[in-house]
Amino acid sequence: MTQLMFVTGNVFAFLLTPVLVLLALVARLCPKRVDVGLGPEPLISYVYYKQLLIERGYSAETYVNQVYFITDKFDVRGDLFCFNRFGLLRGLDLVRLWFISVRRYRAVYHSFNGSPLSIAAVWRWLDPLLYKIAGVKVVILPYGGDVQELTRTRNLYFKHAYGQDYPGHRLRRRCIAAQIDRWTARADHIIGGCEWVDYMIHWDTLMLAHFAIDTDDWRPTNGERESRNEGPIRVLHAPNHRALKGTSHFQRAVDELRQEGVDVELVLIEGATNDEIRSMMTSVDIVADQLVVGWYAMFAIEAMSLGKPVLCYLRDDLEQLYVDAGLIERDEIPIANCTAQSVNDVLRRLVVDEQKRAECGRRSREFIIRHHSFETIGTVFDQINRSIGIHPLDK
């Protein structure tokens, strides 16, 4: 049955291809009223990018195939279109979402997964060409699963954990590799960063990570961190995939420290919205991010912007890359760097030393303002947009 649906879907896509070419030609003739469209994955980072682009004078919209539990704060939602519940006809909704992107946006920011059309194998190879026909520029921002072709990394523990959380990911290897190759050759600009550089062939702009946060909105409660006089030191961990985050190691570390008599508590939260995570973050002393991937991302950035000390594994070779590339100074990242083997000792030092926690939190916020604020990331995005011929329409 699954194979029949796959074949039927691709036949449907093939028959619709001439219509897509015609729609792209129509879109080329339409006045594009929005500078940048961000999608189609429902990533919270796109909401922030929209804000910072608007602050830079650009018009911007988010458009998504569907929403997850994290947030639904997107402008155009394909899951609200009329055919969402009707099997193969769902493809018509995605064509409609794609047409919105080529008709309304002068440029699109999306991952290596491509546009809404990438759901059909027949359309993937045509995807970049349709954007060219429609006169739309493409900026590639990897986010994780779109770029993680696991034969290209030497991080064996990461491979092991990925197989535990997402055993079906191995079946997408050839598709991921093809999408990396396709968009590397045809996108107008590609951003590299994080551990994504392991899998990428080329990037035009290298960043520690392209993630941005509103540091005026995400700021420590009541200014400076208040001293704790009673109760355990609370450590927040919010995994969306336990093996890849090293959840069991955080649990073991806290259990062993408690057995030693150290007053510490692990707060584990899963399936929560971004607003719920934020509320919980403000009430804890330490945030535990991950022990497997080798770099930090949005969860750690949010915590650091709130002035929280963060536990996270940072690979030495990645740090060396960003030092050599002139993006950071050696030991500038204030994250409490630890592995599955060292997390006990690193966590113990943070728990028992209030001054160390306060200093780490202070430096963390300063680091985020310097490298991930709207001002910093907005400057980079503005330079990228102008390099591909996209200037704010009202300027």
For 96-108, write each residue's pLDDT tens digit: 999 999 999 999 9
CB atoms within 10 A of CB 242: 17
Residue 395 is predicted with a pLDDT of 52
Instruction: List, in sequence order, every residue forming a beta bridge with 77; answer none if it has no partner.
Output: 64
Task: List the one residue out of 183, 39, 61, 189 whose CA is nearest residue 115.
Answer: 39
The amino acid that residue 237 corresponds to is H
Tell whether the model's pLDDT for residue 356 goes beyond 60: yes
- Residue 32, helix vs strand vs coil: coil
For 60-69, what is the mean pLDDT?
A: 91
pLDDT level of residue 5 (50, 70, 90 thresholds): very low
Task: List the one residue out of 235, 303, 229, 228 whose CA is nearest residue 265.
Answer: 235
Distance CA 174, CA 266 (A): 39
Find all residues with CB under 8 Å of 161, minimum gap 6, and list them.
243, 244, 246, 292
Distance CA 350, CA 394 (A): 50
Q: What is the pLDDT of residues 175-220, one digit of tens each?
A: 999 999 999 999 999 999 999 999 999 999 999 999 999 999 999 9
pLDDT level of residue 231 (50, 70, 90 thresholds): confident
Give me Rg for the CA atoms of the chain: 22
Distance CA 386, CA 369 (A): 24
Q: Which two tokens stand for residue 282?
A: 């403000």
Find all residues with CB under 8 Å of 181, minimum gap 6, and list them.
201
- Residue 59, helix vs strand vs coil: coil
Any idea what DSSP says for residue 23?
H
For 366-370, what is the mean pLDDT?
A: 98
**Cis preceding-peptide flag for 167 (omega within 30 of 0):** no
- Residue 21, helix vs strand vs coil: helix
* 191 neighbors 141 (Cβ within 8 angstroms): yes
% residues pLDDT > 90 (the chain): 83
CATH class of 233-371: alpha beta
Exposed e or buried b per residue across 77-88, where buried means at least 16 C-beta atoms within 10 angstroms of its C-beta: bbbebebbeeee
Distance CA 69, CA 242 (A): 17
Instruction: List, in sequence order, every residue forming a beta bridge with 105; answer none if it has no partner.
Output: 34
Task: List the one residue out of 70, 80, 124 whose CA is nearest residue 100.
Answer: 80
% residues pLDDT > 70 (the chain): 92
Residue 7 is predicted with a pLDDT of 43
For 282-306, what is the mean pLDDT?
A: 97
392: Cα within 13 Å, side-chain hemisphere: 14
Residue 76 is predicted with a pLDDT of 95
- Minimum mean pLDDT range among 12-21, 134-143, 247-256: 12-21
Cα 267 versus chain centre, distance: 23
- Residue 368, helix vs strand vs coil: helix
Report phi then psi at 59, rounded to 5: -90, 145
Residue 9 is predicted with a pLDDT of 54
Residue 327 is predicted with a pLDDT of 98
pLDDT level of residue 4 (50, 70, 90 thresholds): very low
Residue 86 is predicted with a pLDDT of 53
Q: What is the pTM of this model?
A: 0.93
Residue with tokens 């359309």: 123
* Rounded alpha-carbon distances, angstroms, from residue 357 to 90, 301, 307: 50, 16, 10
Residue 122 is predicted with a pLDDT of 82
Q: What is the pLDDT of residues 263-291, one digit of tens each?
A: 999 999 998 888 999 999 999 999 999 99
Residue count (the chain): 395
Residue 88 is predicted with a pLDDT of 56
Find all residues with CB under 8 Å of 13, minimum gap 6, and list them.
91, 120, 121, 122, 123
pLDDT level of residue 85 (50, 70, 90 thresholds): low
Residue 229 is predicted with a pLDDT of 54
Q: Which two tokens stand for residue 171?
A: 């079946």
| Helical spans, DSSP H, in the chain | 2-29, 44-55, 90-104, 121-124, 127-134, 156-165, 173-186, 242-245, 247-259, 274-281, 298-305, 316-324, 343-352, 354-371, 374-387
